[in-house]
Amino acid sequence: MTKAVRDRPRGTALARRVTGHVVRGLVMIWVVATISFVIIREIPGDPVQGMYESLLQKGMSPDQAERATAVLYGFLPTGSLWDQYVGYMWSLLHFDLGRSLSTPGVAVTSLIGSAARWTVLPVLAGTLLSFLLGVIMGVYAAIKRSGKLGDLLALSGSLLHGIPVYVIGLLLTAIFTTLWPILPSGGPVDVAFVPGLNAGYIGSLIHHAVLPVVTYTLASYGGWILAMKSNVVAVLGDDFILAAELRGLKRGIVFRYLARNAILPLFTILALSIGMLFGGSIFIEEIFNYPGLGLLLVNSISTRDYALMGGTFLVITVGIVVANIVADLLYTAIDPRVRSGEAA
Amino acid sequence: MTRDSAAPEVRIRDLTVVYKTPAGELPAVSGVSLTLNPGTITGVVGESGSGKSTLALSLLNAVQPPGRIAAGSVEIDGLGDVLHLGGEDLRRTRGRKVGYVFQAAQSSLNPLKTIGKQLLDLGRSHDVDDLRALVADAKALLARMGLDGARVLDSHQHELSGGMRQRVGIMLALVLNAQVVVLDEPTTALDMITQATILRIIREVHEERALTTLVITHDVGAVAEVADDLAVMYGGRVVEHGPITEVLGTPRHPYTQGLIRAIPRLSGDISLARALPGRPPTLGTLPVAGCVFRERCDKRMEICETVEPETVTHDGRTVACHAVGRPAPVKRREYA
> What is the 3-state composition of chain B as percent helix, strand, coil, each rounded to the nearest 5?
35, 25, 40
> Is the preceding peptide bond at B280 cis, omega within 30 degrees of 0?
no
- How close is the nearest chain A Cα to the Cα of B57, in Å? 9
Nearest-5° Cα angle at B37, B34 to B41: 95
What is the pLDDT confidence band of residue A96, given thresholds at 50, 70 and 90?
Answer: confident
**Can you give the pLDDT at residue A70?**
72
**Can you give the pLDDT at residue A228?**
92
What is the pLDDT confidence band of residue B5, given thresholds at 50, 70 and 90?
Answer: low
Helices A306-334 and A62-73: crossing angle in degrees, nearest 10, is 30
* A310 within 8 A of A36, measured Cβ to Cβ: yes
Residue B76 lies in a domain: yes
Residue A342 lies in a domain: no
Q: Could you give the CA distance from residue B253 to residue B321 in angstroms, rounded to a whole number?
A: 6
* B10 within 8 A of B76, measured Cβ to Cβ: yes
- How close is the nearest chain B Cα to the Cα of A343, in Å? 10
- Is A5 a residue whose pLDDT tops 60? no
Residue of B nearest to A239 (CA): B108
Of the partner residues B100, B107, B150, the one whose CB lies closest to the CB of residue A240: B107
Question: Do the Cβ atoms of A243 and B111 come within 8 Å?
Answer: no
**Can you give the pLDDT at residue B323?**
80
Sheet holding B229-234, edge to edge: B98-101, B180-184, B212-217, B41-45, B229-234, B237-243, B317-319, B312-314
Residue B297 lies in a domain: yes
Q: Could you give the CA distance from residue A212 to residue B322 in angstroms, rounded to a whole number?
A: 78
Question: Do the Cβ atoms of A242 and B102 come within 8 Å?
Answer: yes
**Can you give the pLDDT at residue A126?**
87
**Which segment of A16-20, A219-223, B224-228 scores lowest on mean pLDDT?**
A16-20
* B97 within 8 A of B85, measured Cβ to Cβ: no
Residue A49 lies in a domain: no
* B157 within 8 A of B109, measured Cβ to Cβ: yes
Higher pLDDT, B45 or B104: B45
* A112 within 8 A of A296, measured Cβ to Cβ: yes
Of the partner residues B93, B109, B156, the one whose CB lies closest to the CB of residue A240: B109
Question: Do the Cβ atoms of B94 and A246 come within 8 Å?
Answer: yes
Residue B20 lies in a domain: yes
Mean of per-residue pLDDT scores for chain A: 80
Residue A38 lies in a domain: no
**Which segment of B10-14, B87-91, B284-288 scores lowest on mean pLDDT?**
B284-288
**Which segment of B52-56, B178-182, B311-315, B330-334 scores lowest on mean pLDDT?**
B330-334
Question: Do the Cβ atoms of A239 and B173 come within 8 Å?
Answer: no
Contacts of residue A194, defined as CB under 8 A and 6 or more positions apart, other chains included, come to A200, A201
Nearest to B25 by CA among B74, B82, B63: B63
pLDDT above 70: percentage of residues in chain A: 87
Nearest to B199 by CA among B242, B145, B240, B150: B145
What is the pLDDT confidence band of residue B131, given thresholds at 50, 70 and 90?
Answer: very high
Q: Which domain holds residue B260?
A: 10-97+212-335
Write the CATH number for A215: 1.10.3720.10
Residue A224 lies in a domain: yes
Nearest to A78 by CA among A55, A103, A97: A55
Residue of A nearest to B170 (CA): A247
Residue of B nearest to A340 (CA): B159
Residue B250 lies in a domain: yes
Nearest to A265 by CA among A214, A239, A229, A240: A229
- Chain A residues touching residue B125 (CB < 8 angstroms): 247-250, 253
Residue A199 lies in a domain: yes
Question: Do the Cβ atoms of A247 and B159 come within 8 Å?
Answer: no
Residue A327 lies in a domain: yes
Q: Which domain holds residue A264?
A: 108-304+322-335
Nearest to B75 by CA among B5, B173, B176, B180: B180
- How close is the nearest chain A Cα to the Cα of B164, in Å? 16
Residue A219 lies in a domain: yes
Write the CATH number for B221: 3.40.50.300
Report the number of distinct structural domains present in chain B: 1
Residue A340 lies in a domain: no
Report the number of distinct structural domains present in chain A: 1
- Is A225 a residue whose pLDDT tops 60? yes
pLDDT above 90: percentage of residues in chain A: 10
Q: Which of B90, B97, B110 to mutate to test the interface with A (most CBs of A within 10 A)?
A: B110
Question: Do the Cβ atoms of B112 and A248 come within 8 Å?
Answer: no
**Can you give the pLDDT at residue B15?**
93
- Chain B residues touching residue A243 (CB < 8 angstroms): 100, 102, 105, 108-109, 169
Q: Which of B108, B160, B161, B185 to mutate to test the interface with A (most CBs of A within 10 A)?
A: B108
Question: Do the Cβ atoms of B95 and A342 come within 8 Å?
Answer: no
**Can you give the pLDDT at residue B333?**
45
A125-168 pLDDT per residue, tens: 888 999 999 999 998 888 888 788 888 888 888 888 888 888 88
Residue of A nearest to B102 (CA): A243
ipTM of the modeled complex: 0.83
Nearest to B120 by CA among B136, B98, B104: B136
> Residues of chain A whose C-beta is under 8 A from some C-beta in B?
2-3, 238-240, 242-251, 253, 257, 260-261, 264, 334-337, 340, 342
Of the partner residues A240, A242, A260, the one whose CB lies closest to the CB of residue B64: A242
**Can you give the pLDDT at residue A11?**
63
Of the partner residues A251, A261, A340, the one whose CB lies closest to the CB of residue B159: A340
**Can you give the pLDDT at residue A98?**
74
- How close is the nearest chain B Cα to the Cα of A251, in Å? 9
**Can you give the pLDDT at residue B104?**
67
- Chain B residues touching residue A4 (CB < 8 angstroms): none
